[in-house]
Amino acid sequence: MPLLPPGRPDRVDDVPTATLERLPVYLQVLAGLADQGIRTVSSTDLAEHSGVTSAKLRKDLSLLGSFGTRGVGYDVVYLHGCIADWLGVMQPLDVVVVGVGNLGQALASYQGLSGRGFRIIGLVDIDPSRVGQSLTCGDTTLRIRPLSDLVDVARHAQIGVIATPDSAAQSVCDRLVSAGVRSILTFAPSVLRVPAGVEVRRIDVGVELQILGFRERRQGSPAAWQPGAVSA
């Protein structure tokens, strides 16, 4: 499907983080609708598929420009192209993955990255048994490099992904920063120390599970369970 229809939305300099986090979701839903041959979608249906309210959807899209026709809905291909254009999908960013265990391999071999504007260009690991092995990443096959090559590999990347044990995360982060990487995604639970101008996004599965667990306990038996209660 074409990503860039004629025209483009008005751009804004400042988009709230919450809106920015939802735009890729809208993009994915619209791509799925287009693949099904659906040409138009209402704000209600698009919002439902995206897991948000229609009011929130309309507010998010209004920050990017004017879309949709009253009584008709959104042109699926056009809206997909506008959001993809705004997110820069057509200008791929190069990514290096550090830590090529199960998590790192799954991420590096994920076929959906290229369609979202990312290209894996480097794989680095400290384990001698992994170094030298090859892994298919999108349309290319990469050889896993040793940790000693990290700065050289990362010098050509805009984004670094840390999928190492927590104990190694800060050291890896320091090397990425020294190579000029200014955007880092980490799966390590520790808070990484970085200089001004470097952005770190942290994904802690344990924290997410605890949030779900808290809500599940409250929903399961709200009267019987209270925060701070300890079973005898």
Whole-number pLDDT of residue 232:
46
Domains of the chain: 17-87 (1.10.10.10), 93-206 (3.40.50.720)
Q: Chain centroid to CA 161: how far?
A: 11
Give me the chain's average pLDDT, please: 88
Whole-number pLDDT of residue 78:
92
- What's the rounded Cα separation, in Å, for the pair 175 and 198? 13
Whole-number pLDDT of residue 7:
41
- What's the rounded Cα separation, in Å, for the pair 157 and 120? 9
197-200-203 Cα angle (round to 5): 170
Whole-number pLDDT of residue 138:
83
Q: Chain centroid to CA 72: how far?
A: 31
List all residues 6 or more positions away from 172 whose beta carbon is below 8 Å from its beta carbon.
98, 99, 147, 150, 160, 162, 164
The answer, yes or no, to whether residue 67 has pLDDT greater than 90, is no
What proportion of the chain, given as a percentage, has pLDDT over 70? 89
Residue of 14 and 180 predicted with greater confidence: 180
Residue of 10 and 157 predicted with greater confidence: 157
pLDDT band, very low/low/confident/very high, at 186 (cuts 50, 70, 90) = very high
What proportion of the chain, given as a percentage, has pLDDT over 90? 67
pLDDT band, very low/low/confident/very high, at 1 (cuts 50, 70, 90) = very low
CB 180 within 8 A of CB 119: no
Q: What is the pLDDT of residues 74-107, one digit of tens each?
A: 999 999 999 998 888 888 899 999 999 999 999 9
pLDDT band, very low/low/confident/very high, at 224 (cuts 50, 70, 90) = low
Q: What is the pLDDT of residues 2-52, one digit of tens each?
A: 444 444 444 445 788 899 999 999 999 999 999 999 999 999 999 999 999
Mean pLDDT in residue range 158-181: 97
Backbone angles phi, psi at 70, to 5 degrees: -55, 130
The most confident of 3-12, 60-69, 147-156, by mean pLDDT: 147-156
Backbone angles phi, psi at 30, to 5 degrees: -65, -40
Whole-number pLDDT of residue 221:
63
- What's the rounded Cα separation, in Å, for the pair 133 and 136? 10
Mean pLDDT in residue range 196-208: 93
* Token pair belonging to 11: 């751009």
Angle between helix 17-35 and helix 54-62 axes, rounded to 10 deg: 100
